[in-house]
């Protein structure tokens, strides 16, 4: 009986031990199942969101560029149409279509096209009402220089000096006031030569070393002057550098000093 009692006790202890070990395993199995479920949900969400997106296009154009047009803003798009943009027209058009499709609230946009000179393609409009169908085909990369800083100066001048504030009534009683931030978005490969354009002197190997040095000094002085005006106005300039041959250093110089965002749009 003693042996029988002892073995019965061992058997009961063994069953209790197995039950405890089983209970310890269940939380880990539950966590594993939850993790697998989360991965399945994330994978399905990615698949759903990827439909209709050309994955061959760079992230900078597909996602980052449209996001620059934020809500509650007065935005001037300053877009390069100089000769150096000739091989960048397709991604430029795609980028502008992305911007046109970006829904925004309480914002207005205007657009300047520049090369040797610049012109207003449309004045401040709500994004949905802007004439994108006529503006986007205007970019055909004509020959000529890149008077980029003169275009930035004009963009600053057409932005309102005082913040535009809009009052909205909610629930028929309460009202809220939202003020729009001035902002500039510059889209270019960045090779500015305003001083050469203003002097009517093309950049060519026929220039003497002294002529080139003087014009480059004028260009540097103009760039510092315009950037200082932008900084003093508190207007951020977001810069998008098109192509691997873009002047990344020059465009970063503008965005970093003005508090904007720099994006390298490879394609």
Which residues face 69 on adjacent strands?
none
Residue 210 burial (CB count, 10 A): 8
pLDDT for the residue numbered 28: 63
Provide CATH code, domain 59-265.
3.40.50.410
* Digit-coded pLDDT (tens) for 63-77: 677 777 778 889 999
The phi and psi torsions of 235 (rounded to 5 degrees) equal -100, 110
What is this structure's pTM? 0.74
pLDDT of residue 1: 43
**What are the residue ranges spanned by the domains of the chain?**
1-51, 59-265
Q: How far apart are the first and last CA of the chain?
A: 86
Q: What DSSP element (H or E) covers 165?
A: strand 165-170
Residue in this structure with the two tokens 């040797």, named with its chain if needed: 116
User: For 22, what's the count of Cα atoms within 13 Å in the CB-facing half-sphere?
Assistant: 6
Average pLDDT per run of 10 along the chain, which is 267 residues long? Answer: 39 50 58 68 48 52 71 92 90 89 84 94 92 94 85 96 72 71 93 90 73 90 96 94 90 94 84
Cβ(116)–Cβ(83) below 8 Å:
no
- C-alpha to C-alpha distance for 44 and 67, rounded to whole angstroms: 24
**Cβ within 8 Å of residue 265, ≥6 positions away:** 58, 60, 61, 65, 91, 95, 240, 241, 242, 243
| Residue 146 near residue 118, CB atoms below 8 Å | no
CA 4 – CA 6 distance, rounded (Å): 5
């Amino acid at each position: 009986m003693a042996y029988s009692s002892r073995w019965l006790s061992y058997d009961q202890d063994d069953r209790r031990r197995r039950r405890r070990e089983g209970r310890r395993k269940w939380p880990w199995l539950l966590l594993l199942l939850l993790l697998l479920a989360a991965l399945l949900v994330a994978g399905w969400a990615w698949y759903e969101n990827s439909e209709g997106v050309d994955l061959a296009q760079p992230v900078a154009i597909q996602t980052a560029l449209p996001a620059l047009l934020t809500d509650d803003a007065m935005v001037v798009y300053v877009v390069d149409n100089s000769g150096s943009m000739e091989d960048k027209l397709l991604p430029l058009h795609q980028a502008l279509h992305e911007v046109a499709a970006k829904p925004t609230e309480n914002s207005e946009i205007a657009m300047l096209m520049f090369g040797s000179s610049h012109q207003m393609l449309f004045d401040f409009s709500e994004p949905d009402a802007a004439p994108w169908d006529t503006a986007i085909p205007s970019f055909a990369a004509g020959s000529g220089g890149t008077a980029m800083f003169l275009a930035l100066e004009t963009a600053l001048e057409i932005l309102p000096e005082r913040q535009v504030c809009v009052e909205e009534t909610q629930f028929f009683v309460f009202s809220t006031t939202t003020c729009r931030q001035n902002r500039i978005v510059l889209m270019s490969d960045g090779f500015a030569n305003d001083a050469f354009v203003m002097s009517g002197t093309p950049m060519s190997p026929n220039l003497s070393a002294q002529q080139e040095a003087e014009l480059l000094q004028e260009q540097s002085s103009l760039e510092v002057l315009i950037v200082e005006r932008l900084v003093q106005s508190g207007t951020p300039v977001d810069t998008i550098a098109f192509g691997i041959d873009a002047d990344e250093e020059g465009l970063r110089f503008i965005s970093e000093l003005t508090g904007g965002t720099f994006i390298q749009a490879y394609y």
